[in-house]
Amino acid sequence: MRFVLVGATALALAACGDYPGAYEETEAGPPAGDVRIEPGLYRMQITIGGGPDGSGMQYADENQCLAEEDVSGGYREMLLDLQGRDSCRFETYDLADGQLDAVMVCAGDAFQPETRARIAGTVTPEATDLRMTVAGFEEGGKGVDMRVTSERIGDCDGQDA
């Protein structure tokens, strides 16, 4: 459930060595094939059980300031930072022409089993529209389906909104 609560926005065992989809970061910013989000104030919305038309239960609707240090490593690195590098890694991460198709795996603990989430949708420097499907938490469990959107709405005023 940790993945659901942190949302997207809507994510590492990367330090342990290479894994499928691994790539090298450059000092100049995100690696080739990733998107660098523009710093600024973003409106982020999470809908649980969201259908293609966006229907579902609204889980979150808030504004968040993304500073330069939050976005400088690219979208992939930002997701890993948000989810926790100690517990999550990307099994796959393919971003081409603004279309993301990824699988994130987060380690379990005493309170929650390992979770596996498929992330698909669009990512641009100023907006995202992603569908995240987290596998069932119990044998035969239905899992959680959510839609996570974000849109840059302006500059930060020096603090989180």
Q: Indicate the Cα dihedral angle 12, 18, 20, 25, nearest 10°.
A: 70
Q: What is the domain extent for residue 18?
A: 2-154
pTM: 0.71
Per-residue tens of pLDDT for the chain, all 161 residues: 333 333 333 322 222 233 333 334 444 455 667 899 999 999 999 888 855 555 667 788 999 999 999 899 999 998 888 777 788 999 999 999 999 999 999 888 888 788 889 999 999 999 999 999 887 666 666 678 889 999 999 999 855 44
Does residue 159 sit within a domain?
no
Whether residue 16 is contained in a domain is answered as yes
DSSP string covering 44-70: EEEEET--TTS-SEEEEEEEEEE-HHH
Q: How many domains does the chain have?
A: 1
